[in-house]
Amino acid sequence: MTENNASQAYFPDGAEVLANPIGTAPGFMLDVTQGGRRPQVSRSEPKASEDQKAGSKPQASEGGPPQRGALFFCMPGVPREMMRMMDEQVLPRVAARLTDRSVVRARLLRTFGMGESTLDAELADIAASGDVVLGFRTSFPDNYLRPVARAATAAQADALPLVYGEGDDTLERVVGRLLREHGLRVAVAESCTGGLVAEKLTDVPGSSDYFQGGVVAYADAAKCALLGVSEALLAEHGAVSDPVARAMAAGALTRFGADLAVATTGISGPGGGSEAKPVGLVHIALADAQGIHSDHFVFPLDRARHRQLTAQVALDWIRRRLLGVPLEGPTLMRRRGGGSTPGGRT
């Protein structure tokens, strides 16, 4: 036996040895209570009851005050061995010590359309219940919300239309799933975003199931030739305007034979703005069989972030439309107006 293997038999005084059924190196547990007093610990492996063999977790002992302190576990670093020992050795011992049997849930929720401080204020009532602890993290243009909740209280967060996914979800993946579930096809017409909306949609594997196509119409002539925007409309309102955004969305809807289409036109900067149309102004429109919804925002950001945020809003509108929730809500974005055609949902 090598010295390395022999050293695996050394354990701290008072430790309980934890069997490793698929490796040579066992683990151990130290039970340290408050005040430095350590209870007697058996060095032999605990026998599993019939219930435990069937998969149930050991129950806390009846009677007497609950033990307070810490359980210190040490396991081999091989992932396969450590995970097996976690399931068979660590978790049952931890469960046997618990006096609070309430269910605790922790999730990572991805939100869009509201800043961290505003989101915190909106969820104040949930946090005040004492059953939910909220954590926030920002990664432009999204905000990540991590509720740690007891029982089913965390389900309240699911009702928020700002929450678009959890875990590793991205907005484009969520939109893709919804389009596939509804059996619908989407098209895009882009100016200021320069194809970013189409790029995000087609980054998702299998997007050919629902993505019909897109047009990047930067020049006025391209808007006319490719999307059917009238020259008179451009002359009267300019390319960055609500009527043109709506015409772009309608053109993409009909020319691609899609079920819904989204359009973007704006001024990403750093130049090109005016008093009437400042840098950061963007018009977004969504068209489907029920009408056209459009809105105006000013995003005072650098060029790259302006394009990123505009594309994210466009994707979020598709998501909201498919979920049947309002396309507009409380946000940190300065909105300049907009509306829907008669009969269109908002």
pLDDT of residue 156: 44
Q: Euclidean distance between the first and final Cα of the chain, in Å? A: 75
Are 287 and 261 contacting, i.e. CB atoms less than 8 angstroms apart? Answer: yes
Q: Regarding predicted confidence, which is higher, 342 or 202?
A: 202
User: Between vectors from CA 36 to CA 32 and to CA 40, what angle results, nearest 5°?
Assistant: 55
> How far is the C-alpha of 312 from the C-alpha of 235, rounded, in Å?
29
Q: For residue range 124-151, what is the model confidence (pLDDT) as tens digits?
A: 665 665 556 666 667 666 666 665 555 4
Region 98-123: mean pLDDT is 64
Which of 25 and 190 is assigned the larger pLDDT?
A: 190
343 pLDDT tier (thresholds 50, 70, 90): very low
Q: What is the pLDDT of residues 33-58, one digit of tens each?
A: 644 444 444 444 444 444 444 444 44
Q: Is the domain defined by 104-166 classed in CATH 3.30.1490?
A: no
Q: Which amino acid is at 118?
A: T
φ and ψ of 26, to 5 deg:
-80, 175
Average pLDDT over every residue of 111-136: 65
Q: Which of 18-22, 227-231, 331-335 has maximum average pLDDT?
A: 227-231
Topology, domain 171-340 = Maf protein (3.90.950)
Query: Regarding predicted confidence, which is higher, 41 or 323?
Result: 323
How long a stretch of residues is the chain? 346
- Give me the percent of the chain exceeding a pLDDT of 70: 64
Beta-carbon count within 10 A of 250 CB = 21
204-257 residue pLDDT tens: 999 999 999 999 999 999 999 999 999 999 999 999 999 999 999 999 999 999
Higher-confidence residue of 12 and 102: namely 12
| Token pair 């980054």 in the structure block, residue | 203
Domain boundaries, the chain: 3-97, 104-166, 171-340
Comparing 87-96, 245-254, 314-323, the range with the smallest average pLDDT is 87-96
Percent helix, percent strand, percent coil in the chain, to nearest 5: 35, 25, 40
Q: Name the β-bridge partners of 215.
A: 189
1-34 burial code (b ≥16 CB/10 A, e <16): eeeeeeeeeebeeebbbbebeebeebbbbbbeee
pLDDT at 59: 45
